Amino acid sequence: MSYTEKGDLNADGRMDTPAFHRNQSFVVEVLKTELGDISSDVLEVGSGSGQHVAKFAETFPNLTFWPTDLDPEHIQSIEAWRRATELANIQKPFFLDVTSDDWEFGTENRPPSDLAAIISLNMIHISPISVAKHLFRGAGDYLSATGKLFLYGPFKRNGEHTAPSNAQFDATLRARDPAWGVRDVTDLEEFASANDLLLDRRVPMPSNNFTLIFSRRN
């Protein structure tokens, strides 16, 4: 099972998804404001096609990126993008179920246990709310003292949608799976607080999306 979208498949196994072309430049600009001057390790949860992590690795050569997914086809696509780009700062993709009790970071062939960032794009609204809850638990366990969690997608605030299009999208998601849906920032802040994190920035993005940036509570 995967919580990220599939796209067209190239002959070498690389998927090409519309979402990447719509949002990659805007996401990169936000990351530049937070990650531009550091050298460390970054985890991407739900890497999907692998296009975003390839773009991130190209943009931030001083960072080491660890892509993950639940879907074997996505793992293959991520690896195909890794090989095609020949970027040394992308590690081999690996299967990660964030609801697992122990992500086993700090062990062989896994990221270190003091990450500079965790990035998750367009995932928590196409997965059960338990996935978001466990994502924050993992962030609490594995982010460094200055580490940040980045979430991108549509979000509600205090039970209200930020645009009619997001309300329509939410209804479409819930029709596909009642466990899916646009998440409320208020709920995410509660998950963050339970793991000694707080919402640091809420950055408006095109198409009524946002990037939420969570950091350690001082």
188 lies in some domain: yes
> 182 is written with which tokens?
């646009």
* CATH number of the structural domain spanning residue 27: 3.40.50.150
Q: What is the mean pLDDT of the chain?
A: 94
110 lies in some domain: yes
3 lies in some domain: no
pLDDT band, very low/low/confident/very high, at 104 (cuts 50, 70, 90) = very high
Sign of CA pseudo-dihedral 113, 114, 116, 118? positive
Using the predicted structure, report yes or no on whether residue 4 has a pLDDT greater than 70.
Answer: no
- 47-95 tens-digit pLDDT: 999 999 999 999 999 999 999 999 999 999 999 999 999 999 999 999 9
Using the predicted structure, report yes or no on whether residue 2 has a pLDDT greater than 50.
Answer: no
Using the predicted structure, report yes or no on whether residue 5 has a pLDDT greater than 90.
Answer: no
Section 139-166 average pLDDT:
97
Contact (CB, 8 A) for 160 and 108: no
Q: Output the furthest CA–CA distance in the chain (Å, rounded).
A: 49
- The pLDDT of residue 37 is 83
Section 113-123 average pLDDT:
97
- 25-37 tens-digit pLDDT: 999 999 999 998 8
Section 126-148 average pLDDT:
97
Using the predicted structure, report yes or no on whether residue 1 has a pLDDT greater than 50.
Answer: no
- 9-20 tens-digit pLDDT: 666 888 998 889
34 lies in some domain: yes
Number of domains composing the chain: 1
Sign of CA pseudo-dihedral 33, 194, 178, 9? positive
2 lies in some domain: no
- The pLDDT of residue 8 is 59
178 lies in some domain: yes
- The pLDDT of residue 180 is 97
- The pLDDT of residue 12 is 82
Do strands 15-16 and 8-9 pair parallel, antiparallel, or not at all (unpaired)?
A: antiparallel
Residue 124 sits in which domain range?
Answer: 8-216
Using the predicted structure, report yes or no on whether residue 21 has a pLDDT greater than 60.
Answer: yes
The Cα–Cα gap between 176 and 120 comes to 21
